[in-house]
Structure 1
């Protein structure tokens, strides 16, 4: 059962990271097109800047950041200060990993919950972005997908670190 959960969590994290990368590439492409269009406009060669490129960039970057969080979590790649780690024994370090993973799960869950509530508010009031007039709830939804994936992967990471702490898995299982 654990192997299946590991495979699912890894798949979610990998898929979300690829989606985040594709979103970043799309934002980069649109930004380049907008800049080139703006630069060529005085020469009569361009279509001009893309209307609402700032709105599109803002939504795209937020969605990409949330899409990368599951990968960062599954790889234990969040910023950490390991100043005292060498002084602690393996058992204490494994216990700290459980506590940290529980904290990340709590943060991911609360973040997803608040994004969901924010999305419902933006949907209810019909708020749109200033320039492109895009519905704001769509940006919340794009970020919410990554936040939910982050919470799911963080839940798996709690299980993984508990298994290491209890001796059911070697410490090398935590990347």
Structure 2
């Protein structure tokens, strides 16, 4: 039940990231066409692209984690017994949860500082706390998914080997 809920939340978050990515592509296209056809690119297009891509990446991370599809090097993993592989995988998921918690904490402090000091983007004057705070839900959900995956490895009897999934 928990995994289903986390997966649905991660899919919804990834859909938001996809919409942001499509918006970034559209913004870039409009700016390039404006530059080539009318010699009038969108002012601040790079600022907008940077903000949208940063938020989109944070939105995609939970889906990668709940599906256990992050890149990992399994060169020596095939040499270890399944039990040791499961422990190493559990450790990796729990470390990711810790890193995610640190990212949430520091990003929240950054967005609060940006709000307090009224930090704005250079060209468009967009308050920087907005995209910074928009990254928080994705980073927090990443941590929850990593915690789930870590504890799932701890209690699961399933042997997880790279060969089963065709990972390199």
Task: Give the TM-score taking structure 1 as reference length.
Answer: 0.87
Q: 1:66 maps to what in 2?
A: 58
Deviation at 1:171, TM superposition (A): 3.8
Residue of 137, 140, 145 corresponding to 1:153 = 145
State the partner residue of 2:106: 114
Cα distance in structure 2, aligned partners of 1:149 and 1:81: 24
The structure 1 segments of at least 4 consecutive aligned residues displaced by more than 3 Å after TM superposition are none
1:4-153 equivalent positions in 2, closer than 5 A: 4-42=1-39, 48-153=40-145
Q: Answer whether contact 2:121 2:128 (CA < 8 A) is retained.
A: yes
Q: How many angstroms does 1:159 deviate by?
A: 2.0
- List alignment gaps of at least 5 residues for structure 2: none
SS in 2 for 1:103: helix
Distance 1:78 1:135 in 2: 32
Which stretch shows the higher mean deviation, 106-115 or 154-163?
154-163
Tell me, yes or no, if the aligned pair for 2:83 and 2:159 is still in contact at 8 Å.
no
Question: How far is 1:141 from its partner?
Answer: 1.1
Q: Give distance in 1, aligned partners of 2:51 and 2:5.
A: 27
Counterpart CA distance in 1 for 2:144 and 2:70 is 16
Paired with 1:29 and 1:104, the residues of 2 have a C-alpha distance of: 33
Q: Which has the greater radius of gyration?
A: 1
After TM superposition, the score normalised by the length of structure 2 is: 0.91
CA distance in 2, matches of 1:117, 1:76: 29
In 1, Cα distance between the equivalents of 2:159 and 2:103?
29
Deviates more, 1:127-136 or 1:147-156: 147-156
